[in-house]
Copies of this chain bind each other. A is one copy, B any other.
Amino acid sequence: MFFKEIEGGSLTSPKGFVAGSVSAGLRDQPGTDLAILLGGEKTKAAGVFTKNQIVAPPVTLSQRHLALDDPRAIVVNSAIANAVVGQQGVKDAAKMASNTAGKLGLEVSQVLVCSTGVIGVPLPMDLISNGIEAIQLKQTDHEFASAILTTDTKTKEFTISVDIGGTEIIISGTAKGSGMIHPDMATMLAFLTTDANISKECLDRVLRQSVDNSFNMVTIDGDGSTNDSVIFLASNESSMEEINGGERERIFQEAVDYVCAHLAKEIALDGEGATKLIEVIVEGAATLDEARVAARTVASSTLMKAAVYGNDPNWGRAVAALGRSGIKINEQTLFLSINGIEMLKEGTPVKFSKEVAAQSMDTEKVEIYVHLNSGNYSAISWTSDLTEEYVHINSAYTT
């Protein structure tokens, strides 16, 4: 492996980044809830956002600033999503950007804004403005990762170093998950930093590909929320030739894929009430798109997720999900195994010990492997199991 994990790393591990956070008072519970990440003057930025038709104002603003300028600051709040609050939301997102720009001496278009939390509630802008003012940016920061959390049970950070043509660069990421509690808080946010020297165009290309293979393959309850955002800042402060194509981009891509997949799996495992990570591997699909659709459909089957929770090797649920995925399935060529135990071969059930299979599923990670035998494309999707605790948490009426 090219990659070396940096234990205890954070978004400020790559050269050129500072970050900080405060408790602005947005949460019911104690804890930080507002954070800023800032890259140096040579920073390039790329972003990938929700495909939901209901888009929160911070997302629209960030998309516009990325198209206009080279943003190098991100301001993020948790607890409130600033979504579905009418025109007030547009004004509040703009104010978060202008306050941050004022504090940091930047153009407004150099600031990106992210919000996550409850839908339909306006931001308390006095608390936000005071909070932005109070944030102190530090060269070694670990608070950003916790300030962005909503119902997550732990922070998700992952940092690696990788050698690209003789130069050691660092890539770091942090994410918050869809929690599974409070769908209105089900936003996925991820932030990546690197000190690699890379063009904006290349950074954008690499990020899009990594997101498609990682965050877009995590399914907890369904599709994207109103606020989903993945943002990648590259400080361009390494002593290397700019990455833009060829072998060096390929290595960089692999490294970013590795960081994103790690974070995606952590998000799946931290689904509320979850006891297991489920990895659905689909191979032998006719196209990449069909591989992804097949993997995601199996991973989003509530019945499959409930079966995995109960250590039930109920492969029929996976086959029924494949059949309704909308892609072309040839029953006669289907192969399926769970944790390596063959259950279906050429569309015909294979005899296996249910007891042995159930024992093998009694772990923190369950692998459902499907071979469609229709082509050469593959995809992996991640999800968590469905537990009584999930229902309990999501049905609790809270006023």
Contact = CB atoms under 8 A, between A and B. Distances in A.
A229 to B, nearest CB: 15
Which A-B residue pairs are the 4 nearest by beta carbons? A310-B395, A54-B323, A183-B303, A119-B316
A327 interface: yes
Dominant secondary structure at the A interface = loop
Given A221-B302, A316-B119, A324 B395 contact: no
A391 B394 contact: no
Q: Tell me the number of copies of this protein.
A: 2
Contacts of A329: 53-54
Contacts of A388: 388, 391-392
B391 A309 contact: yes
Contact of A323 (B52, B300, B348): B52
Interface of A: 51-55, 83-86, 118-121, 182-184, 186, 221-226, 300-304, 306-307, 309-312, 314-317, 319-329, 331, 344, 346-349, 354-355, 358, 386-388, 390-392, 394-399
A85 B348 CA distance: 5
Contacts of A314: 182-184
A301 B84 CA distance: 18
A136 B110 CA distance: 80
Contacts of A310: 394-397
A303 B54 contact: no
Contacts of A386: 391, 394-395
Given A85-B349, A183-B303, A320-B183, A315 B354 contact: no
Given A184-B320, A186-B303, A319-B84, A309 B395 contact: yes
Given A86-B348, A183-B314, 7 more contacts: A54-B320, A86-B346, A183-B307, A222-B302, A306-B391, A312-B397, A386-B395
Contacts of A347: 84, 86
A348 B226 CA distance: 15
B395 A307 contact: yes
Contacts of A354: 399
B355 A303 contact: no
Most central of A183, A346, A398 by chain B CB within 10 Å? A183
Nearest to A393: B306
Nearest to A84: B319
Contacts of A398: 312
Nearest to A313: B397
Contact of A320 (B225, B315, B396): B225
Contacts of A319: 54, 84, 119-120, 226
20 contacts: A52-B324, A53-B327, A54-B320, A54-B322, A55-B323, A55-B331, A83-B316, A84-B319, A85-B349, A119-B316, A119-B319, A182-B314, A183-B301, A183-B307, A184-B317, A226-B320, A306-B395, A310-B394, A386-B395, A391-B391
